[in-house]
Structures are given as structure tokens and as C-alpha cells.
Amino acid sequence: MSGYRIPGTQGRICVPMDEGTLCLSPMPTPGPLLTPPLAVDQSLTTEMRHSLFRLTLQEALRRGATPYDVETLRQKYLIWTGKNAFSTAGEEDFARSVVENETFKFDMIIQEEVKKIPQGLTAYCQKCDHDHVIDETEYRYHTRPLYYAVGFTEIIKRTKDQDEDESVSNNFLDQQVHYTFMGHPIWIHQDLAEVLDRLPGVLEGWAPGLAAKVQKEITDVGGLAIRTVARQNQLSNHAFGLAIDVNANSNPHIVGQMVVAVLNEVAQEGGASFDFGRPLLQKKPEDYTVDDIVEVYSRELPASDAIRDWSRRHLDRYRRKIAQVEAAEKELGLAKVDPMTPLDDRIQRARNAWANLQRQRELRDPNKVSEPLFHEASEPDQGSAPVKDDSAETLALEKFNAAISEIVADRDLARLQVLHESYTDVDRTKYPKQKGYLDS
């Protein structure tokens, strides 16, 4: 192609690579316009780089970074400065100095805040999945990071009220108190403790001796629990000590229309008329009489018994199918899947795992001939039978699909799956007798 002149090129001839491609330098050079060459302020870039490292380290510490995490971050920073051709002179000393300085300052913050935690404060920790005393290590690496991750930057702090000279608390973790509820010791917020103090009087107002009878029926009570709401990035009321669970294993928190629909169906099939989606109490507690409580109890008990009988009949069968699903997932190389994961998500993960294993197998096969990316479409050979794939991953996927199909096709197993996906205490399906579902 012959060249052509382009306006502004000072008469130069451009030979385009293809139509529509202009000359690489069609405009006049900056020199004649007295424009100074572009200069980079190295001191400014160094300051920004140092500030970024310091801020990143501060954020990491607040999110529970361990000493190993901090050292890894420092090493990555040094590698980054080297790869980007920055002067490494002094960078190692700078990084070490920042780590020491910021870690020391954060140590002081942790130590000061831990001093204000009530002695012996015990809570359930979501990350550890058990109850334990909140000491300095637990507070620094588990408790504080969870609150920080959802927006609570200061959960323990002493400030002075504008109208008072004395130091007062404006946060919540240092306002937890050791409280005995119906004979069971728990940790809760002092505001909730004041409300619960009135409960025995309300029960006695309904009927003399009722408080003692209720206390005998309570087997376990949960208070402060440092966790988020299931499947949500927001803290539970338990994380503030503002809620309690009474006999939680036999009184699960019922949420969601599908869960309510399952429980109502099972109760109705058992001959009980009860709406699990309707608030149990319609009036203020002090407005109820003994007859009102008896009436509510007489409606709730048959429904509860119907669900217990139904679970007793079908739970073992469901557990066997889920065990088959988990075994197949393990064969596909999947890590332990959260029991609350919906079946659709489990199916997609299993298929993806199978596809990855198939791809790896093909790459390892020396006899595999790569097919062209584009080829002429041809009629399929009607006389040839499909090639049977008897690979380990395909057999595992077939077992997985068979177990899932049985759960979906069976009405009772499918309903148990709905409950299984919706309750945070998934161990109920693993230990039904211990958890109260198969009580004799």
C-alpha cells in the first residue's frame, strides 16, 4: 500500500499497518512548544509507597493478623519494591521499623482494652466454634477482628461524658455481666439483665410456683455469642449480649417461608393445627393469665410432637443419603462442604470438580491428540456406540447424582433438606437423640 500525507505530520509519509492505523507520531514533538520533559518526583512516590505499606499493615493488625501474617506482608512489600525497580536502599530498614512501630502501638491498644473486659468473660466464638474465656490472645485474633470486620472499630473504649467528670463507657463488651438465669450462669449485657430480673415476678403473677416449674424444664441457656447472623454479614444480637437462647437444641429459631411451610405441613399431616409463622404471644407478657398460657401450650404441644415423630421416621434415612453425597464429594476432591449449602450449589460444585478432573486427565494423557479449534461440521456416525467413561471422577459424579436425585424425589427427604439448609445448628441431624429430636 502506498503512503499518504496526514495533516499535522509536518510532511512525513506514514505507511499504515492496516487501514485506519495512523502514524505512530502524527503530532509535533514537545520541543518546539517549549514543553519540559515529563519528570517523576521520586520523593513523592516514595512517600506514597511508604504510606500505603503503613496503612495496609494497620488494617491487617485490626483484622487479626498473626506475627506470621505480618512478616509475610513485610516480605511481599520488599519483593514489590524490587520488582518495580524502586531503590531498595533503606527499604528493608524502613519496613522493619514500620512493623516494629505499628505492632508496638497495636499491642498497647490491645492491652489497654483487655484490662476493661470483665474478669472471666466467656463467650461462644464463631471462628473457633466453642465457648472459651476471652483472654488477650482470643480478644486480639478472634473477638476484636470479628467486630471490626462488620464496622465496629472500637468495641471497648472509655470516654468522658460532656455533663460528667467521671469516665463512662460508650461501648458494649465491657458492659457484660455474669448473670444467673433460671439457675444457669451466662454472660449478657447489663441492660438485658435488668429486663430478665422481672421474669420471675411475671411468672409468679401468672400462678404461684410457676417460676420454679419453668426452671426445672430449662436444660441449657446461651447468652453472649460472638457471631454473625447465619448467611449474613451482620452481627447477631447475641454478639452484644442482648439475646438469650433457652433450650436451643429443642427450640430452633424458625425463619423463612419455606421452613415455616414445611413445619406447618408436617404438623397438619400429624393432625395438629398450628401456624409456626405466627407470633406465639399476641399480648404483653403481663397481660396473660394462666389459662392463656395453658391454651397456647395445648396448641403447640401436638404440633411439636408431630414434628418429632416425623423426624424420627425419616431422619436416619436422610442422614444415610447425605453421607453418600459427602463421600462422593470427597472422591471428587471437594473439601468439606458446609451442610447449609443449598443442593443447587452443591450440584454445581460437583460438576465443576468433575470437569476439572477430566481436564487434568486429558492433559496427562500422552496419547491425547489436540483437536483443531475450528473444523468442518460432520454428520455423527450413527453406527458407533458412545464411548463409556469409567474414570474415577465420573463414577463419583454418578454416585453423587444418584444420592441427590433420591433426596429431591422423596417428599420427606426434600423437606428435611429444607430444614437442614436453614438451621445454623446442623449437628441436630447428626446427633438427633443427644439433641432432643429422638427423645423417648
Q: What's the pLDDT at 43?
A: 62
**398-418 burial string, b = 16+ CB within 10 Å, else e?**
ebbeebbebbeebebbebbbb
In angstroms, the Cα distances linking 178 to 84, 117, 184, 241 are: 55, 12, 10, 11
Q: What's the pLDDT at 92?
A: 87
* pLDDT tens string 363-411: 887 665 444 433 343 444 444 444 457 888 899 999 999 999 999 999 9
* pLDDT tens string 167-177: 444 467 888 99
* pLDDT tens string 302-325: 988 999 899 999 999 999 999 999
Rounded average pLDDT over 188-205 = 90
With beta carbons less than 8 A apart as the criterion, state whether 178 and 118 touch: yes
* pLDDT tens string 342-370: 889 999 999 999 999 988 888 887 665 44
Whole-angstrom Cα distance, residue 300 to residue 278? 12
Per-chain mean pLDDT for the chain: 77
Q: How confident is the model at residue 22 (pLDDT cuts 50, 70, 90)?
A: very low
Q: What's the pLDDT at 265?
A: 93
| pLDDT(432) > 50 | no
| Nine-digit cell string for 311 | 423426624
Q: What is the pTM of this model?
A: 0.60
| pLDDT(301) > 70 | yes
How far is C-alpha 374 from the geometric centre of its chain's CA atoms? Answer: 44
Q: What's the pLDDT at 125?
A: 66
With beta carbons less than 8 A apart as the criterion, state whether 149 and 63 touch: yes
* pLDDT tens string 51-109: 999 999 999 999 999 999 999 999 998 888 876 555 566 888 899 999 999 999 999 99
Count of positions (residues) in the chain:
440
Rounded average pLDDT over 202-229 = 86
Those residues with Cβ within 8 angstroms of residue 5's Cβ, 6 or more apart along the chain or in another chain: 11, 12, 13, 14
